[in-house]
């Protein structure tokens, strides 16, 4: 099977376990853009058992928490599309009112030539914030 998320990580890995991984999505306009990718090949969320869906969403929400903490965005966008790569993955995108497409989705026609540049957040800080958010979820604390 020819699948880019089976053949490779899909980007620089920020965190991983035996079930899924969180990678940086290379993007000029969306510096904090991450993807949460299931390790094995599956197509739809409802192809997973309920406990697996929950586990993947926990990683998505931990990623959201980390990005909110480090980037303080105006909005978080979450999406699982997979029309081009039908291997379960979630886009987790910090959005800002002055970014290239806001308030449209990042896939729409751009309203500005580019997003303003923002301070780079180091991989180590992102990794640590994700680990911390996962630990808090597993402790059952409210968001």
Least separation in angstroms between residue 95's CB and its own copies is: 6
Q: What residues does 95 pair with on adjacent strands?
A: 75
Question: Where do contacts with its own copies occur on this chain (CB under 8 A)?
Answer: 43-50, 53-54, 57, 60-61, 64-65, 68, 75-84, 86, 95, 102-105, 107-109, 137, 140-143
Least separation in angstroms between residue 105's CB and its own copies is: 4
Residue closer to its own copies (CB basis): 1 or 12: 1
Least separation in angstroms between residue 64's CB and its own copies is: 5
The string of DSSP letters for 4-70 reads HHHHS-SS-EEEE-SSEEEEEPP-SS-TT-EEEEESS----GGGS-HHHHHHHHHHHHHHHHHHHHH
Strands 20-24, 34-38: pairing is antiparallel
Residue closer to its own copies (CB basis): 16 or 68: 68
Residue closer to its own copies (CB basis): 46 or 117: 46
**Inter-residue contact 96 to 102 (CB < 8 Å):** yes
Residue closer to its own copies (CB basis): 128 or 137: 137
């Amino acid at each position: 099977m020819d699948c880019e998320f089976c053949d490779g990580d899909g980007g620089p890995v920020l965190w991983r376990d035996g079930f899924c991984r969180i990678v940086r999505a290379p993007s000029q306009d969306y510096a904090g853009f991450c993807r949460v990718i299931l390790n094995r090949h599956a197509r739809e969320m409802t192809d997973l058992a309920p406990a697996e869906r929950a586990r993947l969403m926990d990683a998505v929400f931990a990623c959201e928490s980390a990005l909110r903490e480090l980037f303080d965005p105006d909005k978080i966008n979450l999406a699982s599309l997979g029309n081009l790569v039908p291997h379960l993955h979630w886009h987790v995108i910090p959005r800002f009112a002055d970014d290239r497409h806001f308030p449209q989705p990042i896939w729409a026609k751009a309203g500005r030539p580019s997003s303003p540049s923002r301070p780079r957040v180091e991989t180590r800080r992102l990794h640590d914030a994700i680990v911390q958010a996962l630990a808090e979820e597993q402790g059952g604390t409210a968001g």
